Amino acid sequence: MNRTVLISGASIAGPSTAFWLNRLGYATTVVERAPALREGGQAVDFRGEQVSVLRRMGLLEEIRARQTSMGEQHILDASGKRVASLPASMISGEVEIQRGDLSRVLYEATKDRTEYVFGDWITSLTETASGVEVTFAHGAPRTVDLVIGADGLHSGVRALAFGPESRFRTEMGYACAGFSAPNHLRLDHTGLIYNVLGRGVTYAAQDPDGPANIGFVFAADGLTYDRKDEDQVKRLIAEVYDGVGWEVPRLLEGLRDAADLYFDELAHVYLPRYTSGRVALVGDAGWGVGPGGGGTGLAMMAAYVLAGELAAAGGDHAVAFERYESEVRPAAEAGAKQAKGTGPFLAPRTARGLWLRNQSHRMLTTRVFSGVFDKMTLKAANTLKLKDYGI
């Protein structure tokens, strides 16, 4: 019986996995490279079956108490004039919460039964007949029964157990950035979407006296930068948006002082398997699809499935991992398909593309097409139907 599980990553997928394994009596440890929980981040939403996993965890009401309660999102043209407004349900799903708030909820729900180790990371994995020998950058070596990689798009566990990221990653030709900045427009539970060719800006806020969440998405082919050099990344973004009008100059001022910058290129990670021996991947580590693919909800559902299949298999990881693969893969591939056009949709490169995008926004606000859109997004969210594992 496998009883000790080491999980890499303390954002969403990792604590979600620990939550369910704790219910089965496993001894769980979460190791996180960052020195503490990562605060801030953009909002994440849940629909359909994704909401049911929150309910099964007993966390739905707590998440609703912290939800963004965002209203309409207004689409602006190049002059800043409103051209369309999208209803909250289209953008925010059934329930929406800031990523940092969700991470905190999951941490609080697991910290009494899970050991959290911050400021460290896995440096090697050696599988034996009875377990996995693990070394760390700072901590003493350990031997555990199972290792779960829940450490995101640039997963260290994936690199150690499956091979270098370059083997599995496909660039989508766009980059995105998110950060908090002063809410100088004093938006109140609403958001704005602004575009010039190849560059998009989202500006949203819950409180006129609180910070705004800023998002940049832009066409990016052949970027050269050090992802870990934040000053260099900020300069890169400022250069891309140099000369853009509307409120962008003030937002770039906020970027200079931002302490919670997230930046990455939009990419799709595809692996032929999510498990190898005693190692399994959950969330973006296994099937990173980028914005628009329902990745957060699927990661939390996958954590439930992984634990459930271990319970159903009596702890036999070989049997459980095989079943986990077959359950999760169709939903991961549906999410990848849904997210494929996110970059071109958020930051069209041509005038015609931008016009068509704005026209589609207008159509989506009509009664007929809003229903079609809702059905499409709900269908993707419901691709994975959760079994009752009795946990």
Per the domain annotation, does 380 fall within a domain?
no
Residue from 91, 68, 383 nearest 211 by CA: 68
Tell me what pLDDT residue 240 has. Answer: 96
**85 close to 74: Cβ distance less than 8 angstroms:** yes
Per the domain annotation, does 188 fall within a domain?
no
pLDDT tens for each residue of 233-244: 999 999 999 999
> For the chain, how many structural domains are there in total?
1
Tell me what pLDDT residue 370 has. Answer: 59
Tell me what pLDDT residue 7 has. Answer: 98
Per the domain annotation, does 196 fall within a domain?
no
Domain interval for residue 30: 4-69+96-169+268-341
Tell me what pLDDT residue 374 has. Answer: 61
Distance (Å, rounded) from C-alpha 187 to C-alpha 79? 19
Region 69-90: mean pLDDT is 84
Region 153-167: mean pLDDT is 97
Per the domain annotation, does 42 fall within a domain?
yes
Tell me what pLDDT residue 375 has. Answer: 66
Per the domain annotation, does 81 fall within a domain?
no
**25 close to 276: Cβ distance less than 8 angstroms:** no
Residue from 366, 371, 162 nearest 269 by CA: 162
Tell me what pLDDT residue 378 has. Answer: 66
- 70: CB partners within 8 A, 6+ apart: 43, 88, 91, 92, 96, 189, 190, 191, 204, 206
Distance (Å, rounded) from C-alpha 307 to C-alpha 59? 17
Tell me what pLDDT residue 338 has. Answer: 79
Beta pairing class for 211-219 and 279-281: unpaired
pLDDT tens for each residue of 341-383: 888 888 999 999 998 888 887 777 676 665 666 666 666 677 8
Per the domain annotation, does 214 fall within a domain?
no
Residue 271 has pLDDT above 60, yes or no: yes
Per the domain annotation, does 321 fall within a domain?
yes
Region 147-169: mean pLDDT is 97
Distance (Å, rounded) from C-alpha 75 to C-alpha 191? 9
Region 251-277: mean pLDDT is 94
CATH at 50: 3.50.50.60
pLDDT tens for each residue of 14-36: 999 999 999 999 999 999 999 99
Per the domain annotation, does 143 fall within a domain?
yes
Extract the tokens encoding 198: 């190849």
Distance (Å, rounded) from C-alpha 299 to C-alpha 99? 13
Q: Where are the alpha helices (DSSP H) in the chain?
A: 13-23, 49-57, 60-65, 88-92, 99-110, 156-161, 230-240, 248-257, 284-287, 295-312, 317-339, 342-346, 351-364, 367-381
3-state percent helix, strand, coil for the chain, nearest multiple of 5: 40, 25, 35
**157 close to 147: Cβ distance less than 8 angstroms:** yes
pLDDT tens for each residue of 361-370: 777 767 666 5
Region 195-217: mean pLDDT is 95
For residue 388, with 0-12 CB atoms within 10 Å meaning exposed, 13-18 middle and 19 or more buried, which class applies? exposed
Share of the chain above pLDDT 90, in %: 72
pLDDT tens for each residue of 83-141: 888 877 667 778 999 999 999 999 999 999 999 999 999 999 999 999 999 999 999 99
Start-to-end C-alpha separation, the chain:
17
pLDDT tens for each residue of 258-268: 999 999 999 99
Region 274-286: mean pLDDT is 97
Tell me what pLDDT residue 2 has. Answer: 65
